[in-house]
Amino acid sequence: MASSSLSRFQVLSAGIFSLLLTLGVARFAYTPLLPLMQEQAGLGIAEAGWLAAINYAGYLTGALVAFVVTDLHFKMRLFRWGLVMAVVSTAMMGMSENLVLWMLARFLAGLSGTAGMLLGTGLILNWLIRHNLRSELGFHFSGIGLGMIGAAVVVEGLSPGFDWQAQWYVFTAIALVLLIPSLAWFPTVDTSPFDQTGQRLEDRPPSVAALRLFMAAYFCAGVGFVVSTTFIVAIVNRLAGLDAMGNIAFIAIGVGAAPACIVWDLVARRIGTLDALILAALLQVLGILTPVFSHGLVTNLVGAVIFGATFVGMVSLVLTMAGRYYPTRPAKMMGKMTLAYGLAQILAPAATGLLAEKTGDYRVGLIWAAATMVVGSVLLGMLRGRQKDSLVQESG
């Protein structure tokens, strides 16, 4: 469908559906299904960590591609292939109990995640900028939280009557349904150097020093994100008195994440993007540490909501900023930032899995993740001090 005939609602909805497909199904279905796969398919703790790490290796590989490829038409083709890959990788997870096949499937799912998160987001931001619409992605990124909620609800509803394998096939059917609007409503590529009013689009990249600080801070955010989202179900299930409550906690993360990006857009308008990022990072520390210090259901659900609201808010704000600096090639800086985020997501799950295997407690990983987020907050504070740098100037 031609971009001129698409409404803003259709374009943003296509983005949401693509995130539901590539992240909600291909990525996040693994988390609520993890305990079931450990129980029924014999998946070990360390192997679970490695599968998560391989997923992010695929994501990192996709981020490299997003950074290197500059042709928007080719990026559109990669985006479409990524959507199909999300369906295929989901089906592969239910085909057998072979660890090698699972590893391949998780790698492909990581690649598809890049398609939805970076390529799709960059193309949608480019469309918004070209049509002189506010370059904020809060509505678009609500697909992350909705995907988390959807994945957990499906597993919670199916678990009494479906084993792990059957549930992966149900997710495959859901993926096929989501594929249709993701493709049908996604806008075509416009490579004109001008927006709809005839104003030339120009890239305004940040300084090298500021970008390095920013990438280091985003690496820390990647650690904070991946440890909690990968292991939260297993962690909560192991807390005294909270057996079988892990999926509820995962749903709570999604409940916090779904509306959060829209709220963080409003916060950023009021106090500035970097101040909003720092606030989100500090609040995320609180959300990460909740299962460490509390065994209460209500407290852990509140902590999960806080975590969901902050991690997705940070992703939305960072990628929106990145796209604003490269309006002609939005995925360029997004790819750079995601390389840092993705590297953290390769190292952290494997390290957490090994720590959990040695200590018998996933919560050691949470303490490490929270400490890393504190470091990230300090780095963002250093960025804030560089007021003369273009990176910290507000842009519309």
Q: Residue 165: is its pLDDT beyond 90? A: yes
Cα 337-338-342 angle, rounded to 5 deg: 135
Q: In the structure encoding, which two tokens stand for residue 255, read together?
A: 């409940």
Tell me whether residue 53 is in a domain.
yes
How far apart CA 287 and CA 302 sit, in angstroms, is 8
pLDDT band at 186 (very low <50, low <70, confident <90, very high): very high
Average pLDDT over residues 72-99: 94
DSSP one-letter string for 103-120: HHHHHHHHHHHHIIIIII
Which residues have C-beta within 8 Å of that of residue 7, sequence separation ≥ 6?
A: none
| Structural tokens at position 352 | 């957490």
pLDDT of res. 46? 82
CATH number for 105: 1.20.1250.20
Confidence band of 198 (pLDDT split at 50, 70, 90): low
Cα(275)–Cα(268) distance, integer angstroms: 7
Measured at the alpha carbon of residue 375, what is the angle toward residues 225 and 117, in degrees to the nearest 5? 30
Among the ranges given (210-214, 228-232, 325-329), the one the predictor scored with the smallest mean pLDDT: 228-232
Q: Which of 276, 231, 263 is nearest to 392 (CA)?
A: 276
- C-alpha distance across the termini of the chain, in Å: 28
> Has residue 344 been placed in a domain?
yes
Flag whether 326 is in a domain: yes
Confidence of residue 242 (pLDDT cuts 50, 70, 90): low
Instruction: Give CA separation, 181 vs 104, 117, 175, 185, in Å.
Output: 27, 16, 11, 6
Kindly report, residue by residue over 310-363, the tens digit of the pLDDT.
988 998 888 888 877 887 777 778 888 888 887 887 777 777 777 777 777 767
- pLDDT for the residue numbered 108: 97
Calculate the average pLDDT of the chain.
85
> Does residue 197 belong to any structural domain of this protein?
no
- Give the domain range for residue 286: 7-183+206-392
Query: Cα dist. 218→305, 334, 339 in Å?
Result: 21, 11, 9
Distance CA(150)–CA(145), nearest Å, equals 9
**What per-residue confidence (pLDDT) applies to 79?**
95
Q: Is 369 part of a structural domain of the chain?
A: yes
Q: How many domains does the chain have?
A: 1
Q: Which long-range contacts (CB under 8 A, 24 or more apart) does 160-167 make?
A: 163/36, 163/40, 164/33, 164/36, 164/37, 164/40, 164/41, 164/94, 165/41, 165/94, 166/94, 167/29, 167/33, 167/36, 167/94
How confident is the model over 151-160, as a mean pLDDT? 90
The stretch 215-240 carries a mean pLDDT of 81
User: Among 33-42, 132-141, 255-264, 377-386, which stretch is predicted with the lowest mean pLDDT?
Assistant: 132-141
Q: Which residue has the higher pLDDT, 127 or 105?
A: 105
pLDDT at 396 (0 to 100): 42
Give percent of the chain with pLDDT exceeding 70: 91
DSSP conformation class of 360 = S
User: Has this prediction a pTM greater than 0.75?
Assistant: yes
Residue 392 has pLDDT above 80, yes or no: no
180-184, 293-297, 304-308, 376-380: least confidently modelled range? 293-297
Please report whether residue 36 resides in a domain. Answer: yes
Split at pLDDT 50, 70, 90, the class of 240 is low
Indicate whether 132 pLDDT > 90.
no
Q: What band does 206 get if pLDDT is binned at 50, 70 and 90?
A: confident
Mean pLDDT (whole number) for 252-271: 88
pLDDT at 391: 54
377 domain-assigned: yes
More confident site: 124 or 91: 91
